[in-house]
Structure 1
Amino acid sequence: MPKVQSALPVQPDHTVRRGPAAARPEWRTDLDGLRGLAIALVVAFHVWAGRVSGGVDVFLVLSGFFFTGAIVRGVERQGRVAARNTARRTLRRLTPSLVVVLAAIVAATVVLRPYTQLGETAAQTLATMFYGQNWYLATAELDYLAPDPSVSPLQHLWSMSVQGQFYLVIFAILAGWAWLRRQGRVGRPGLLLALAGLGLLSFWYAAFGTSQHQAWTYYDSVARGWELLAGAALAVAAPWVRLPARLRGVAAALGLLMVLACGPLFDGANQFPGVAALWPVAAACLVIVAGFGVHGERRGVANRLLSGRVCTELGALAYPLYLWHWPILIFYLAETGRVRAGLVDGLVVIGVSLLLAVATTRLIETPLRLPPRGSAATPSRGAGVLVGVLAVTVLASSLGWQLVLRANPAVPPQALDSARYPGAAALLSGAEFAPETMRPTVFEAHVDAPSPTFDGCITPNREVRTCTYGDPTATRSIALVGGSHSEHWLPALELLGVEHGFRVVSYLKEGCPIVLADQPSYAEWPFPECHEWSVEVLDRLAAEPPDWVFTLSTRYRQQGIGDEVPAEYLEVWSALQDRGLNVLAMRDTPRLRRDGVLYRANDCLAHRGDADSCGLDRADALDLVDPAMAPAAGYPNIHLLDLSDAVCRPQRCRVVEGNVLIYRDEHHLTASYARSLAPELGRQMSAVTGWW
């Protein structure tokens, strides 16, 4: 049976085979070293730079190369794919270490993290065990009720899911090719053309998706497919690809330099797997091709460097090191409240990860590796039992917790008694109240959201959606425009619309305050469809002008404390003025963050925090004077609203006021608290509009 190796592998099996298997190509120790270099870059960039290095893209190319090559050679020797043996070997190589790490993550979450995170960890654990983590994270990027996946100790396992899905697809393709080959219809050239065609389609899809919705495309298996198919195509084309002797060393050296330069040159999280990913993919392909048809000392200097002990030893640990380093880092940062590790503590994180990787290799992977064919040896029974028990425990606990949550779904409060739950009134008028159980509770917080979140009236894509709230029969109207920070004012506007007779027409898009710049300065990733959506919204507002446009006037300062008016907002104000539209411009609400790290109010409260300790100093969140006042003086159509005093005390912004939880996550108001803001919002709006 041919050896099957993954891009994120356990230590490869170097067992010497005899008979037909002896014709297999010499084992590429330089590719072991390339894998080792790639994992070193992945770990270093995660720990110290907080960005993508391109190492995972190298892994994916190697995965496609080794897995496809092994099966193709097996088909040419045996005339068919060995489905059972391939599946057994692949699962035996990938599953044991994964199960051990998942068990450790679940246990650490229970012990160290707030109990409000157990459900999310359980869901991601199940997604990982069934190789669907990438789709879970992609969906979470589009779901405003989902927690931010970037803080998950399981986030890095998306690549394992992409790899597992590729194995299934390429195995089916190769099985079909094996059948056609037996019929004498399709040989290697036909297979190569098919893989190249699929790779080009996947690349086109990735390039288009990256330019339109990077957050989804990053995790999309179809968009990632071309990287694996590049390696697969090389494996099929191997018999025909031979570089001239003079070019082999140049190709390997260039590929090695490109791998090393990828992280500093590219912002992979915002650019891959689109056109920019050609860089790490081409780098891996150059190193692979440079070794075709040559052996050992005849390979170039770069290939021999990669075959050195340091790189190959790291390559042998690549899979468990990849599994361990991210959760160790995330739990460390979560416990210390830091954005990223420094030099010394980063070395400690890496050291602990290496020790765990070595232990996992020696105690779990090596004892469970299949023995050579014909050997009387058997995999370790003890290690097998341990992995089996852990797998059942992790699966049962994760599934059980999910069933508990499904049986007891969180239901947001619809209408709270203002006497018992005065909310903002406790700040503004000093309303007296007796202590009550906080509402929404920490388990209800994430679903206590405005209507558009549930009725589909905040769009995740390019489509402009409009919905009507408040008094639908009223002649007066307010257009609510922007992203989720405009949306979270809707519960208050709905109450005022019903009371004072006006319609609220929503123009909302997730993560998109209305903007005319292709790449606004505050954007976290390329999001061109935000600009396209904004232009169409402005055109619609001009065609059917409302009495007022309600949108934001400020945004938190990403690099520093307080808030500001981005230059892009002024451009929008000018566009609204040119269209004759009057604007109610609301100062944005504070975001919960410490030293630049966002945190969720419900997690903090569940983790031994209280209303005050889970809050933040007002001076860290808001400038002393509304920063929109000075620029707004030059725009007669801009009328400012500021409810900061209804959210924050003079010195402190707490997370609970008047028995009502203010935040449903890191920075969005709960619908319950927003409704308690209606009287003050109505007072300020009345002073501007004169409607009541």
Structure 2
Amino acid sequence: MPDRVASLDTPTPVRVRKQRAERLTLTHRPALDGVRAIAVLVVLLFHGGVSWLPGGWIGVDAFFVLSGYLITTLLLAEHERTGRIRLGAFWARRARRLLPALLTVVAAVLAGARWLVPPEELGALGTDALATLGYVANWRMLDRGDGYAALTAAPSLLQHTWSLALEEQFYLLWPLLVAGALAWWSARGLLGGTLVAAAGSAAAMALLYVPDVEPARAYYGSDTRAFGLLVGCALALLLSARRYRPGHAAPRRWSVPVGLAVATLGVALFALDDAGPVLYRGGLLGVAVAVAVVISRAEREPDGRTARVLSASPLPRLGRVSYELYLWHWPVFACLDAERTGLTGLLLLVTRCAVTLVLAELTYHLISRPVRSGRWPRPGRVLPPLTALAAVAGVAVAAVVVTAPPTHRTQAPGTTIAAAPSTLLTRPGRPAGPLRITVFGDSVANSLAIGLPTLSGATLTNRSLIGCGIARSGPVRNASKIQDPYERCPRWDAYWAQGVRADHPDVALVVLARWEVLDRKLDGRWQHIGEPEYDAYLHTELTRMIGVLTTDGARVVLATAPYNRRYERRDGSIYPEDEPARMDAWNRMLDDTARTDPARVRVVDLGARLCPEGRYTTEVGGVPVRTDGLHLSERGVREVVAPWLLPQLASAAT
């Protein structure tokens, strides 16, 4: 089979001799390790919350470009050397390099899942793990479901594996395309097709991006992110052709293209965050091209300034473990949060990075390198593949078993409520029967209602609307993400009125706060509790709420809200909605509402019950009371809340 790699230039006898003298090879390049090191470092700093590096996300795109370049160069070199590409051997090498560390990290995440992940999010993590093992995590992260639990869950411990999935999909498909193109087409045609595909991918990202809407489809899609890999592939094809041009020599000085590329990357690192139209409408493509320019200079001039900078110690050493660093950093950062460590800012970042580096080095030297070199498992044709299959199957089974939700709930003994005679119990139009309590509110109210023990002498009905408060304008900003109110939320008063008519409650228990303290767009601008216009709006909604709940004569019990710590920022600080001042303002508003109508409305201080020391806590008296920084645990409701709350509800009916 003729060598098609060099067909970008029609060979002449002289050029054939030059081609043989400059056979395409890919040896270890310290400068490329330096690229890897810088890429992973900026990702770590970005995820560590370094405020002056809002564009650290470009490290992932640098990996894409470098992967496309290296893999294509390897394939071209093999084809030039042997006249063919051994696909099975290529995929086996990729598996030996990537699979051991990935399985190690996924297994570690699953082992700690029940301590790190709220019970209601375990099932989603199990699916994430299976998607990671199947290298389709990018599509999984694109669509983790549209329910409240999925939309408001904390980021997955395996969320970062979306980029690995994209690369693995590339490793599977690209060698097939290269082998086919070199057999039936030409390297020139492959280059042209690669450039067209890269442009098409960037165009798809621009077209699928919608301003002011979560850009998950444009960000995670294999089609919309392929251009980073394809830019690297095009670079490999171009550099392989330049080898055969007579008199070719790269200048040994800084060049204008490299200067422009570095300036582009600097602007992206220090000025662009991970949102906005510039990023999705050409910005990421510009970043990929800039990375390719830097790689090109380092490759064409191995002794030049660019290569020397990228080869400076300790960058090559960090680059060698960049894959392991990337794999470990996300779950380590999530585990070592400010709440668990008591650290914030620089100290937290240093601690996270140190632990990540130690784990990465151990994984590389004890697992990745021995497997890659063939020292473990024992060499042979059968044992290594069987070992790999067994390892994957074992982790997959663990993903299903470990993250399976509990099959039953432990129910506490019934609590007796002695309902004293009252006008509420005997009022006209109320069917005879025991004391009736109805719970209204959001998902926190729901977690309280389902955790209350079985009642004796009273009935309890749960009418909470998960994901809805009484503030109905929108959109809202939840942990910096913008989301519109759920379709049913603006009609909360109609749902609650329907519940009052159906239940004829003696006591309406209201548990609210989360959706009222978020930043919310009102009258065309972002506002929040504590601002006069927004406070007036909330007072109006509270008055409307009291009117709805007392229509049938019920007494209203307003539960104050405890402090929350639902999410942390990347640097360990809390988001504005979890600031204690906002919750204090809401609780004062509840007190003001009760004082305006003391005959029908009273307040119970649930906030003080769950935060007895005046600050957020996960335990009260040794009993876990919060599952995820916001919702209440079933055990906490049964053992801490119910004995204190139920008598007060019975008293409210008298």
The one of 299, 303, 308 aligned to 1:304: 308
**Corresponding position of 1:24:** 25
Aligned to 1:245, what secondary structure does the other structure show? coil
Separation in 2, partners of 1:170, 1:259? 27
Change beyond 3 A, Cα 1:136–1:251? same
> Which shifted more, 491-500 or 217-226?
491-500
**Corresponding position of 2:371:** 368
Change beyond 3 A, Cα 1:618–1:194? closer
The one of 138, 141, 145 aligned to 1:134: 138
Contact 1:69 1:235 in 2 (8 A): yes
Change beyond 3 A, Cα 1:343–1:29? same
Answering whether residue 291 of structure 2 is matched by residue 284 of structure 1, we say yes
The superposition leaves residues 450-507 of structure 1 with CA deviations (integer Å, 9 ceiling, x where unpaired) of: 699xxxxx99xxxxxxxxxxxxxxxxxxxx987675366664255479999xxxxxxx
Answering whether residue 123 of structure 2 is matched by residue 124 of structure 1, we say no
The one of 259, 270, 273 aligned to 1:264: 270
Separation in 2, partners of 1:623, 1:498? 29
Deviation at 1:313, TM superposition (A): 0.8
**Corresponding position of 2:180:** 176
**Corresponding position of 1:215:** 215
Change beyond 3 A, Cα 1:139–1:387? same
**Corresponding position of 1:429:** none
> Which shifted more, 149-158 or 269-278?
269-278
Q: How does 1:536-615 map to 2 (within 5 A)?
A: 555=528, 594=564, 597=567
Change beyond 3 A, Cα 1:202–1:424? closer
The one of 44, 61, 64 aligned to 2:68: 64
Separation in 1, partners of 2:532, 2:238? 56
Amino acid of the structure 2 residue aligned with 1:96? P
**Corresponding position of 1:689:** none
Deviation at 1:221, TM superposition (A): 1.7
Aligned to 1:423, what secondary structure does the other structure show? strand
**Corresponding position of 2:397:** 396
Change beyond 3 A, Cα 1:96–1:21? farther
Contact 2:232 2:292 in 1 (8 A): yes
* Percent of residue pairs identical: 24
**Corresponding position of 2:353:** 350
**Corresponding position of 2:170:** 166
Aligned to 1:422, what secondary structure does the other structure show? strand
Change beyond 3 A, Cα 1:334–1:142? farther
Amino acid of the structure 1 residue aligned with 2:311? S
Deviation at 1:109, TM superposition (A): 1.9
Amino acid of the structure 2 residue aligned with 1:353? T
Separation in 2, partners of 1:158, 1:89? 21
Which entry has the higher C-alpha Rg, 1 or 2? 2
Aligned to 2:233, what secondary structure does the other structure show? helix
Amino acid of the structure 1 residue aligned with 2:42? L
Separation in 2, partners of 1:585, 1:247? 73
Deviation at 1:347, TM superposition (A): 1.1
Deviation at 1:127, TM superposition (A): 1.4
**Corresponding position of 2:300:** 293
Aligned to 1:203, what secondary structure does the other structure show? helix
Contact 1:363 1:383 in 2 (8 A): no
Separation in 1, partners of 2:493, 2:322? 48
Amino acid of the structure 1 residue aligned with 2:33? D
Change beyond 3 A, Cα 1:357–1:262? same
Amino acid of the structure 2 residue aligned with 1:349? R
Change beyond 3 A, Cα 1:623–1:91? same
Change beyond 3 A, Cα 1:274–1:493? farther
Change beyond 3 A, Cα 1:23–1:226? closer
Contact 2:201 2:223 in 1 (8 A): yes
Separation in 2, partners of 1:648, 1:259? 55
**Corresponding position of 2:337:** 333
Amino acid of the structure 2 residue aligned with 1:348? T
Question: Could you list the runs of 5+ residues in structure 1 that have no partner in the other structure?
Answer: 1-18, 410-416, 426-432, 440-445, 453-457, 460-479, 501-510, 522-553, 557-561, 574-581, 600-613, 630-644, 656-661, 670-692
**Corresponding position of 2:322:** 318
Deviation at 1:96, TM superposition (A): 0.2
Deviation at 1:324, TM superposition (A): 1.0
The superposition leaves residues 254-301 of structure 1 with CA deviations (integer Å, 9 ceiling, x where unpaired) of: 44454455332110255645422234313311112213433x32x2x1
Contact 1:158 1:219 in 2 (8 A): yes
Q: How does 1:677-692 map to 2 (within 5 A)?
A: none
The count of aligned residue pairs is: 508
Amino acid of the structure 1 residue aligned with 2:75? I
Deviation at 1:205, TM superposition (A): 1.4
Change beyond 3 A, Cα 1:239–1:145? same
Amino acid of the structure 2 residue aligned with 1:437? P
Contact 1:424 1:646 in 2 (8 A): no
Q: How does 1:623-634 map to 2 (within 5 A)?
A: 624-625=588-589
Question: Could you list the runs of 5+ residues in structure 2 that have no partner in the other structure?
Answer: 1-19, 243-247, 410-432, 442-448, 456-461, 469-473, 476-483, 505-517, 547-558, 570-577, 594-600, 612-624, 633-654
> Which shifted more, 480-489 or 204-213?
480-489
**Corresponding position of 1:547:** none
Deviation at 1:378, TM superposition (A): 3.8
Answering whether residue 638 of structure 2 is matched by residue 622 of structure 1, we say no
Contact 1:367 1:379 in 2 (8 A): no
Aligned to 2:148, what secondary structure does the other structure show? coil
**Corresponding position of 1:10:** none
Change beyond 3 A, Cα 1:481–1:346? closer
Answering whether residue 77 of structure 2 is matched by residue 73 of structure 1, we say yes
Deviation at 1:515, TM superposition (A): 7.4
Change beyond 3 A, Cα 1:394–1:330? same
Separation in 1, partners of 2:41, 2:32? 14
Separation in 2, partners of 1:64, 1:25? 14
The superposition leaves residues 119-150 of structure 1 with CA deviations (integer Å, 9 ceiling, x where unpaired) of: 23222111111112221221137443315455
The one of 411, 416, 437 aligned to 2:453: 437
Deviation at 1:43, TM superposition (A): 0.9
Separation in 2, partners of 1:647, 1:84? 70
Amino acid of the structure 2 residue aligned with 1:43? L
Contact 2:67 2:229 in 1 (8 A): yes
Separation in 1, partners of 2:158, 2:40? 17
Separation in 2, partners of 1:166, 1:384? 21
Aligned to 1:302, what secondary structure does the other structure show? helix
Separation in 2, partners of 1:646, 1:228? 62
Deviation at 1:335, TM superposition (A): 4.6
Amino acid of the structure 2 residue aligned with 1:189? R
Change beyond 3 A, Cα 1:86–1:22? same
Amino acid of the structure 1 residue aligned with 2:186? G
Contact 2:299 2:307 in 1 (8 A): no
Change beyond 3 A, Cα 1:191–1:664? same
Separation in 2, partners of 1:663, 1:420? 27
Change beyond 3 A, Cα 1:23–1:61? closer
**Corresponding position of 1:422:** 438
Separation in 1, partners of 2:167, 2:496? 47
> Which shifted more, 141-150 or 45-54?
141-150
Separation in 1, partners of 2:108, 2:308? 37
Separation in 2, partners of 1:117, 1:45? 25
Contact 2:560 2:587 in 1 (8 A): no
Separation in 2, partners of 1:515, 1:247? 57
Contact 2:201 2:225 in 1 (8 A): yes
Amino acid of the structure 2 residue aligned with 1:151? P
Change beyond 3 A, Cα 1:60–1:314? same
Query: TM-score, normalised to structure 1's length?
Result: 0.60
Change beyond 3 A, Cα 1:245–1:26? farther
